[in-house]
Structure 1
Amino acid sequence: MGFQGDEESAPQIPRKTLFRYNSPLVQVSLIGLVCFCCPGMFNALSGMGGGGQVDTTVADNASTALYTTFAIFGIIGGGVYNILGPRLTLFAGCSTYVLYAGSFLYYNHYKEQTFAIIAGAILGVGAGFLWAGEGAIMTSYPPPDRKGTYISIFWSIFNMGGVVGGLIPFILNYHRTSASSVNDGTYIGFMCFMSIGALISLAILPPSRVVRDDGSRCTNIKYSNVSTEVVAILKLFLNWKMLLIVPAAWSSNFFYTYQFNNVNGVLFNLRTRGFNNVFYWGAQMVGSVGIGYILDFSFKSRRARGLFGIGVVALLGTGIWAGGLANQLRYSRQNLLDKLDFKDSGSDFVGPFFLYFCFGLLDAMFQSMVYWVIGALADDSETLSRYSGFYKGVQSAGAAVAWQVDTHHVSFMSQLAVNWSLTTLSYPLLAILVFLGVKDDTKPADETPKEVTPPSTLTQL
């Protein structure tokens, strides 16, 4: 039976089918687990500052190589996703994370950074594939009026990887407060999780096989070809919607260098950096749930929800960066403070720790907000994979520049000022995009009546 235009004529699917293998909830949760194991562990590794090394030079150079290739392959990753589909794209991307963690294990023994830089460049290719696929799944599989909720579910699972990843170096290096790097077991633990993530990626279904609870299917795309994707990707650079996203995309990973290296890495000793990361990524879970609720439930109008969400993030972001300024006035590259320890530093530890926690909260709210805006611009997987790839590509270009800025020892204060300015510039441009580009009608424009599959059939797909 096809849709008749009202809810009464559509068959009601039992609530228990929410956890079907081919439901958006399960598929978004699976991509969350993939990112738990791969980018989540990578984030924990990066969040320690210097990739777990006291000398940040190797991590800065590896990250520059990583985000340079990520900038290119992030943009074309959406096209690769449209050609290869989710499983091959995600598996290829996940495999490169294991190599990157292994390069730091190698560096621990031989102090040769060439392998780490090459592994970083290879990871940039893989990350471009992974995040383009992730963005397409997270923004196109959920029902149009619940994208904020599903984004928060993904972000919570993904950032639990950072929490667990933060515990690994914290536990394994608890008694090594003055060591020059984390131990081998830390990197081996990361590699094990990343390998599991690559295997989980093979369980992701293509959009044509994902069925929402109301019986509607995600976009049934025909896989594209290279020439079509090249033309479509080039057109993104002339798309006014994408141009308005550029400052938000550029800034959304640009601030990681400052937060990881120049706050967590500079102010805290080795074991405390791992301790802080548990709470940094835990704060991301809180932030994503909070902004997800605002973006889905605060107002009836989708446009009003988007504008309100941007306003909330702008207000919170201004306060947190002001706190960062107050903290930064206490030290500089030429005048470093004694390393803080979560057990021994007493009240001196509380303020910088709370600031770092708030940085994690803001990161999740900022990026979830941007993903929601992207998801509100279209409903089909094909378009959203390109939009997400463009976002990740620009984001990675910003990150590549940020890591090199730190390598050249630009002052901490200058880095903070640039980060604050970029995020502040993003808010009015995103508001304009929501006002002009987001429609309150959440029904996909190209949606045609589809055959509703009986519940008994859905559970077997």
Structure 2
Amino acid sequence: MSTEATEKTGVPPGTVVDHDSEKAAYEFPQERPTGWLYQERKFGPIKLPYYASPISQLLIVAFVCFLCPGMFNALSGLGGAGQLDATVADDSTVALYSTFASVAFFSGTICNKIGIKATLSFGGFGYALYSASFLAYNHTHNRGFVIFAGALLGVCAGLLWCAQGAIMMSYPSEKMKGRYISVFWMIFNLGAVIGSLVPLVDNLENKSGNVGDGTYIGFLVLMGAGAVLGLFLLDSNKIIRKDGSKVISVQQPTWKSELWGLWEVLRAEPWILALFPMFFSSNYFYSYQFNAYNLARFTTRTRSLNSLLYWLSQIIGAGFMGLALDTQRLSRVTRARAGLAFVFVITLAIWGGGYAFQRNYTRASAKVMTKIDWHDHNYGGPLFLYMCYGLYDAIWQTYVYWIMGALSNNSRKLAIYAGFYKGIQSAGSAITFRLDSLEIPYINMFGSTWGLLLGSLVCAAPIIFMRIREHIPASEDIKFSDETESVEKFEQKQ
């Protein structure tokens, strides 16, 4: 098949053609085009994937997240974003997740309208401004700027994570989704690990007080580089898998057709609501872990070390869970159900250990207790628990993404799923950080977190047991695109 002929089997702007010969391009092997985007290259014994391959694009997205949200996580993991008083960071985080929740519901619409490249690059901009606001706060104590930067970051993050989710879930083949999710999560969290070295080195002798300017400057430079890297991403209509199958994509839709697609998902798949509690609780625990645990009980330099090991544990958790969910020894249905049982058990085990630690202090007593330092003989147990929290976070996120990816292969639908996920997740984060700002008792925050995690797994169980199938036919995914496209066709006739 020539390059010209192959291009004719793609999706023209604004349409999805539904006759069988062109549907086959999305599911069955085809000859790959011969342009430079599709040529593999060798550097000595190393063979690099071609630029327009799903794995190359995933790596670009992963390193954007390595440099932007990865560094943000390293900063947040310090507790209070590096400030000794967490109040301003809490208020900024509430603003962040409030706008994040509002924008994320429509981020799939925006992503499909302006393209994944523009969405990802613009999304990275807000992270650099956020770090800059804390640098300024160290000198001016301008709370308004920090809160504004948090609100703007919420908009940017909603767009970035929507683009990331659509790529990570729709670009790989069905049997590779777990691996792609784990590769992304490992690289992304490696950013937080390396990012944690910035405050650790900058605060080696600092046992109390705020982190230094060098921490915020380092994050500012790295986050800015991530926003630029997003411009090197390709549009999804150019992506072809190694076997020649195309990524399902619709180009240049109207706003109305995209909003219609949002409605179509809820109308045709109302069962997706059963996953919303799982979405809501997926970042709910951050406020407790970062502020009620790490900030409340450890010295400044020890918080930096804890943060590094927390995100390192996430790399291990993501790698393990991704490989387990892709094992070919079990059917996909069995893997989904076994994964649910496993997550339920470790929720009981890890958070049960957390309760044993939490019941020994309150918000009031933590203010007068001696902070734990890495030189203390009793440091090992609390450190191990914090690493287990990081392991748990990666396992939970990997499993949720894998479940969404198992429900569809359509990048348009998955962008909407990702928008739901990040929007509801952010609403949960906004609520829990506001609770921390109001100084709700630590044990109450812990109890609500543990209860939500267990309850959400119970709510999701019927979907996991009844909706996960071994394979989603391309014709079924394209049918969704055809239905949402009908609004655009109607507009064109007017």
Counterpart amino acid of 1:351? G
Task: State how 1:337-352 maps to structure 2 within 5 Å.
Answer: 337-342=369-374, 344-346=375-377, 348-352=378-382
The reply on whether 1:216 has 2:248 as its aligned counterpart is no
Separation of aligned partners in 2, 1:302 and 1:428: 20
Separation of aligned partners in 1, 2:157 and 2:309: 24
Counterpart amino acid of 1:345? D
Contact 1:152 1:368 (C-alpha < 8 Å) held by counterparts: yes
Once the 2 structures are TM-superposed, how far is the Cα of residue 236 of structure 1 from its aligned partner?
A: 4.7
Once the 2 structures are TM-superposed, how far is the Cα of residue 240 of structure 1 from its aligned partner?
A: 2.4
Separation of aligned partners in 1, 2:150 and 2:116: 23
Counterpart amino acid of 1:42? F
Separation of aligned partners in 2, 1:262 and 1:298: 41
Determine the structure 2 residue equivalent to 1:190: 219
Counterpart amino acid of 1:268? F
Gaps of 5+ in 2: 7-20, 33-37, 42-46, 479-494
Give a deviation string over 1:139-158, Cα, whole Å, max 9, x none.
Answer: 00111111011000000000
The reply on whether 1:175 has 2:205 as its aligned counterpart is yes
Question: What TM-score, normalized by structure 2, do the two folds share?
Answer: 0.86
Determine the structure 2 residue equivalent to 1:233: 262
The reply on whether 1:387 has 2:417 as its aligned counterpart is yes
Determine the structure 2 residue equivalent to 1:127: 157
Alignment identity in percent?
Answer: 40
Task: State how 1:355-394 maps to structure 2 within 5 Å.
Answer: 355-394=385-424
Deviates more, 1:240-249 or 1:97-106: 240-249
Give a deviation string over 1:409-448, Cα, whole Å, max 9, x none.
Answer: 1111111111111110122333321222221125433479
Determine the structure 1 residue equivalent to 2:488: none
Once the 2 structures are TM-superposed, how far is the Cα of residue 314 of structure 1 from its aligned partner?
A: 1.3
Contact 2:111 2:159 (C-alpha < 8 Å) held by counterparts: yes
Determine the structure 2 residue equivalent to 1:245: 275
Give a deviation string over 1:242-280, Cα, whole Å, max 9, x none.
Answer: 211111111111100000001111111111111111110
Contact 1:299 1:305 (C-alpha < 8 Å) held by counterparts: no
Gaps of 5+ in 1: 449-461
Separation of aligned partners in 1, 2:262 and 2:472: 25
Separation of aligned partners in 1, 2:477 and 2:72: 38
Change in 2 beyond 3 A, CA 1:320/1:209: same
Change in 2 beyond 3 A, CA 1:447/1:79: closer
Give a deviation string over 1:333-386, Cα, whole Å, max 9, x none.
Answer: 1222311111x212x111111111000000000011000011111111111001
Determine the structure 1 residue equivalent to 2:485: none
Once the 2 structures are TM-superposed, how far is the Cα of residue 233 of structure 1 from its aligned partner?
A: 2.4
Separation of aligned partners in 2, 1:121 and 1:15: 42
Separation of aligned partners in 2, 1:8 and 1:431: 32
**RMSD over equivalenced CA pairs, Å:** 2.2
Task: State how 1:197-346 maps to structure 2 within 5 Å.
Answer: 197-236=226-265, 239-297=269-327, 299-336=329-366, 337-342=369-374, 344-346=375-377
Contact 1:133 1:385 (C-alpha < 8 Å) held by counterparts: yes
Q: Specify the SS of the correspondent of 2:288.
A: helix
Separation of aligned partners in 2, 1:9 and 1:257: 47
Give a deviation string over 1:301-350, Cα, whole Å, max 9, x none.
Answer: 211111111211111121000010000011111222311111x212x111
Determine the structure 2 residue equivalent to 1:427: 457
Counterpart amino acid of 1:210? I
Question: What TM-score, normalized by structure 1, do the two folds share?
Answer: 0.92
Change in 2 beyond 3 A, CA 1:443/1:8: closer
Separation of aligned partners in 2, 1:391 and 1:251: 10
Contact 2:39 2:50 (C-alpha < 8 Å) held by counterparts: no
Question: What is the aligned residue count?
Answer: 444
